Amino acid sequence: MKSVAIIGAGITGLTAAFYMKRRGVPVTVYEASGRVGGVIESLRKDGYLAEFGPNTILETSPKIAQLVRDAGLQSRRLDPDPKAEARFVVRYQRPIAMPGSPLGFFTTELFTRKAKFAVLREPFVKPRRDGVEESIAEFVIRRLNQEFLDHAIDALVAGIYAGDPYKLSVPHAFPRLAALEQKYGSLIKGQIFGARERKRRGEVAKDRAPKFSFDEGLQVLPETLAAQLGEAVKLNSTVRKLMQSGDGWRVSTSSGEFEHKAVVFCGTAFKLAELSVEFSSLAGRAGSPLPAAPRPAADGAHGGTRPTGTLDLAPLLEIRYPPVASVVLGFRREDVAHSCEGFGMLIPKIEGFKILGTIFSSSLFPNRAPSGHHTLTSYVGGERYPELALLPAEKLYEVVCEDLRVLLGVRGKPTFQYCVVWPKAIPQYNVGYGRYRDLMTAVEVKAPGLFLAGHYRDGVSLSDSIVSGINVAGRVAANFKPTNGRE
């Protein structure tokens, strides 16, 4: 049986390949770079463990815990220190703990009386029913007020998307918020009643989902999946062209051409846009919004039909991927005035700092720093200050140290410093993103056997990407008869 080609050995591609193999579907994973994991990158050096992409996995779905068990990683899973539950938001030029209860909200200095009153009146704000797509900024101002946007939501958006709340779409970037308003007419009511429904489905809201990592960082997961896939993973293999044939797909790579039963693209939107994809109109389905191709000609040499059209994927290049720099610094504990007991701090733009936020990595999990030291992971750039992410490493260290000096009372020189720059980091689900999702759906309709999955389609969090990989594996496997009887 021909294998299924999976393009991209990030967490979505590896998860999809892992579960297809378990279901008896042969796979071949093509990865353009020389390593697996995509944006997951962990480094152990000089007693420090640095994470340059995501720092944790959120257990939002039972499928995620199942993956850990299926991969044999339960003994290596690390849950965070209970003392690291506190999250901070910067206001008045200093980090203030976010309230963890209704009473805490009404006593916190993080918000003024006006903002607290806005929460009390939120259940009485009429929901919007006219179908107009709002930005998260418009949504928050309408349902709460400007203060909530400037001092809370802006910081949250920076932490999740490194994005701009005036551009990000509510239904696409924060679909659950949109759903709460549509179903319950209120965010507060939705939080209360929606929690019951999530519990019945076995799901957990992201703000309450358990977090975890592994003993040697998140890279343990992709490396373990890749090891179990073995020779099926082909590194330094750039896919240049896809061509549909009568009974499958021909994949042209930097090392040759190969025949496959189907293709799953798990890379980035801009790489998909650059890919040449030729399809046969005989294989397509009626009703596709993509342009129709000319009538195909016979091609006996390939046992099927000659591809007669090229998918127009150029619009996907419009999807914004701002640059983000991940800067990991180590300090002696006596050189940091703040206790750094907690998950970390988010920083609204209105506060005037250059960093988007900082994770207190060594407080979150053990063995992230030598004894008596802190590891602090800060992020720079995004839509807020894209030019800063591209500064030279030494300048980035200076920028981060200056902000940490004010915010956390850091003094002295770092005992560890390392940074990784992601020139195109996180896809921005901005207003109008639906047209790109419609295009992706149309691609799958027009070219059966080509599947699309990953953070550009199913959500940008690590947990979203894992679930996307699991789901697409199920979609592909439904078209195959297992060869080993395993499910």
- Per-residue pLDDT at 188: 85
Residue 16's nearest CA partner among 173, 222, 212, 172 is 222
The domain over range 111-206 is classified in CATH as 1.10.3110.10: yes
- Cite the residue boundaries of each domain of the chain with CATH code 3.90.660.20: 42-82+320-422
- Per-residue pLDDT at 390: 97
- Per-residue pLDDT at 296: 41
- Per-residue pLDDT at 289: 37
pLDDT in single tens digits along all 487 residues of the chain: 799 999 999 999 999 999 999 999 999 999 999 999 999 999 999 999 999 999 999 999 999 999 999 999 999 999 999 888 899 999 999 999 999 888 889 999 999 999 999 999 999 999 998 889 999 999 999 999 999 999 999 999 999 999 999 999 999 999 999 989 888 888 888 777 766 676 666 666 666 789 999 999 999 999 999 999 999 999 999 999 999 987 899 999 999 999 999 999 999 999 999 999 998 865 544 333 333 334 344 443 344 455 568 999 999 999 999 999 999 999 999 999 999 999 999 999 999 999 999 999 999 999 999 999 999 999 999 999 999 999 999 999 999 999 999 999 999 999 999 999 999 999 999 999 999 999 999 999 999 999 999 999 999 999 999 999 999 999 999 887 655 544 4
pTM here is 0.90
Q: Which residues of 301-334 are buried (b: 16+ CB within 10 A; e: fewer)?
A: ebebbbbbbebebeebeebbbbbbbbbbbbbbee
CATH top-level class of 42-82+320-422: alpha beta
CA 482 – CA 465 distance, rounded (Å): 25
Residues 145 and 118: beta-carbon distance below 8 Å: yes
- Cite the residue boundaries of each domain of the chain with CATH code 1.10.3110.10: 111-206
- Per-residue pLDDT at 84: 85
- Cite the residue boundaries of each domain of the chain with CATH code 3.50.50.60: 4-39+222-317+430-477
Residue 97's nearest CA partner among 106, 84, 110 is 110
* 387 CB burial (10 A radius; 0-12, 13-18, 19+): exposed
CA 214 – CA 477 distance, rounded (Å): 29
- Per-residue pLDDT at 193: 74
CATH top-level class of 4-39+222-317+430-477: alpha beta
